Structure 1
Amino acid sequence: MKSGLKKIPILNFGTFHMGFTNDENKVEFDEHNKKNQEEVHKIAKMLSEFKPTVILVETRPSYNDKLQSLYKKYVQNPEMKFKNPNEVELLAYELGRLSETKRIYGIDHKMSYNYKIGSEIDNKIDAVMHDNYYANPFAFYREIRNDRGEKSLLNRLKMTNHDEFLDFLITVNADILTHVGSDKGFEGADEAAKYYQRNLRMYSNLNRIKLNENDRVFILMGASHTAFFRDFISRSPKYKMVNTFDYLK
């Protein structure tokens, strides 16, 4: 990329999974509830002020033809019903419709890792820290601990996209595993590296998308991926991070 070329703005937005998920930790949310759907659409309207030309979501690239086909049908008929809607159908499609976005792609890359490794081996590195952390991880984050009561969907997503919560998601999913290992082994760090690798591969999928300096990119993913992308984008010579809270008001 030529020096001084205009960076491509990215609105990197984290959410919980609003429909079915294989994730160990799930948020209670009835994706079929009309009021919930209306709340999601209000948030989509706020975010549509960003006016993305491209939307990226947490589905595999192999699903792109189906993803784009359903999106086009939704744009033509926003009253269409999805059997099991998730954040893509509820939020990304509505955001794209309001923004008149033409392109939508998936950038997910599946990889498994064992974040429970600390309870499965004789941990010789720092079992006290590891065990205390997982016993009550929010005890280590005062702002998150004091801000976890019953919330509207908007306030829940605001909390999710704050830097402290994004930092927490990287630690709880990966970095705390560096406290796990045998006498001469790095079993925890090796598992954490798999989660870093998955996110780096997802970031590589972003880089496969053909973009130019006039594009504006909205990314919708589970927030742990948003956290990694925040770090990658903040150092990027190609992209620039847009402040989520300029739009999520």
Structure 2
Amino acid sequence: MRLVYLLVAFLLTHSTLAQTTPFRKQIDALFKQASPKPQVLLLGTFHFAGEQVDANTTPADLRVNILSPTRQAQVEEVINQIARFKPTKIAIEASPNSKNYIDSVYSAYRKGKFQGDKLVRVDDELYQIGFKLAERLGHSELFPIDAQPFRIRFSPADSLTMFTKYERQSDTTFIYWDKQYTTYSKLQDSLKYQSTVGDYLRFLNEEDTQARSIGRWLITTKKGTNREPIGADQFISRYYNRNLRIYSNIQRLVTSPSDRILVLYGNTHLYILKHLLKASPEFDLADTLGYLK
């Protein structure tokens, strides 16, 4: 009897598939383009300049000296790997308002007259990878695409105005995971210090690593109540909103279907940017780990 049931189920399944296959093919055809799509390579990085520029400051004894001969050789290896993508544009983590400044210092760099300043340090990833790769490829400019989250005046009914109301809300799981992520950050610092630049970039660009970077924010989204979901609203209005704005800046960079855009960005942004680019019908997403081999 069981054999008969399985046979009937098999026949019904295959009959259904036969009926739906033409529709699925038509649906797939809607999103296929005969012409090529712009390609994007997302390279998540750490802050080469000792991670002193944001909240993820690295202890002094674990800061990577990116200017040492050993590290410079490792950076050169990474540049060789990424150059194989043959980007036509390099997008960087800097404000579009700084475009004229970036253009001027990059022009000076190409002439051998720029050795870094307070805004573009010689030991940061923009200089070490962005400038060096752009010069090698003969690019005349780089493209700042950073964005900040929107800031508007919300109505008194909006939960974002109630942040302080839930600032001290008790949450044992948050306390637990906050400790886990604090330990994780320390382990990352040690791993970065012990690894080559290439090995650590491979670690940063792995799916699990990028998922964990957003996981630290997701433990805060239950803050508030069903009626006043301050945690979720804060995540949407700041973290997700900022990355969606960055993505829209990538969209506006496209001037040709043959564009190949390298996005050089702090790794904590990459999970959402990758999610958006994968879902977009406008782009093909390159395999970052494949280029870092």
- From the superposition, tell whether residues 82 and 103 of structure 1 become closer, same or farther in structure 2 (CA, over 3 Å): closer
Whether the aligned pair in 1 keeps the contact of 2:71 and 2:196 (CA below 8 Å) is no
SS at match of 1:191: helix
Give the counterpart of 1:133 among 174, 177, 181: 177
CA distance in 2, matches of 1:71, 1:122: 47
1:89 aligns with 2:127: yes
1:23 and 2:54 are equivalent in the alignment: yes
Share of identical aligned residues, percent? 23
Of Structure 1 and Structure 2, the greater helix share is in 2
More displaced 10-residue stretch of structure 1: 28-37 or 184-193? 28-37
Query: What residue in structure 2 maps to residue 151 of structure 1?
Result: 195
Secondary structure of 1:238's counterpart equals coil
Cα distance between partner residues in 2 of 1:164 and 1:138: 17
Deviates more, 1:86-95 or 1:131-140: 131-140
**Pairing 1:210-225 to 2, within 5 Å after superposition:** 210-225=254-269
User: Does the alignment pair 1:123 with 2:169?
Assistant: yes
Following superposition, the deviation at residue 148 of structure 1 comes to: 4.1
- Which of residues 78, 88, 100 is equivalent to 1:65? 100
Deviation at 1:203, TM superposition (A): 1.1
For residues 150 and 280 of structure 2, what CA distance do their matches in structure 1 show? 27
Report the RMSD for the aligned CA atoms in angstroms.
3.1
Cross-structure match for 2:72? 37
Contact between 1:16 and 1:222, CA under 8 Å: does it hold in 2? yes
Instruction: Work out whether residues 44 and 270 of structure 2, in 8 Å CA contact, stay in contact via their aligned partners in 1.
Output: yes
**d(CA) in 1 for partners of 2:182 and 2:223?**
20
Equivalent residue pairs, number? 239
CA contact (8 A) 1:53 1:102 kept: no
Distance 1:211 1:175, change over 3 A: farther
Offset from partner CA, 1:88-141 (integer Å, 9 cap, x none): 011111111222234411000134999xx79x72336xx12221111113889x
Partner of 2:21: none
Tell me, yes or no, if the aligned pair for 1:123 and 1:182 is still in contact at 8 Å: no
1:195 maps to which of 239, 243, 262? 239
Query: Does 1:6 pair with 2:40?
Result: no
Aligned match of 2:139: 101
Alignment of 1:163-178 (within 5 A): 163-172=207-216, 174-178=217-221
> Using a 3 Å threshold, how does the CA distance of structure 1 residues 132 and 108 change in structure 2: closer, same or farther?
same
Instruction: Find the aligned partners of 2:168 and 2:98 in 1 and give their Cα distance.
Output: 41
Label 1:112 to 1:16 Cα distance change in 2 as closer, same or farther (>3 A). Answer: farther
CA distance in 1, matches of 2:177, 2:291: 34
Query: Match of 1:136, SS?
Result: helix
CA deviation profile, 1:8-67 (whole Å, cap 9, x unmatched): 111100001112644211342334444333322321121111111100000000111121
TM-score between both structures, scaled by the size of structure 2: 0.72
Supply the distance in 2 between the matched residues of 1:35 and 1:139 (Cα, whole angstroms).
Answer: 28
Structure 1 gaps, min length 5: none
Instruction: For 2:146 and 2:52, locate their aligned partners in 1 and report how far apart those are by CA, in whole Å.
Output: 14
Q: 2:271 matched to 1:240? A: no
Residues 64 and 21 of structure 1, relative CA distance in 2, 3 Å threshold:
farther
Q: Check conservation: 1:130, 1:179, Cα contact below 8 A.
A: no
Which amino acid in structure 2 is aligned with residue 191 of structure 1? Answer: Q
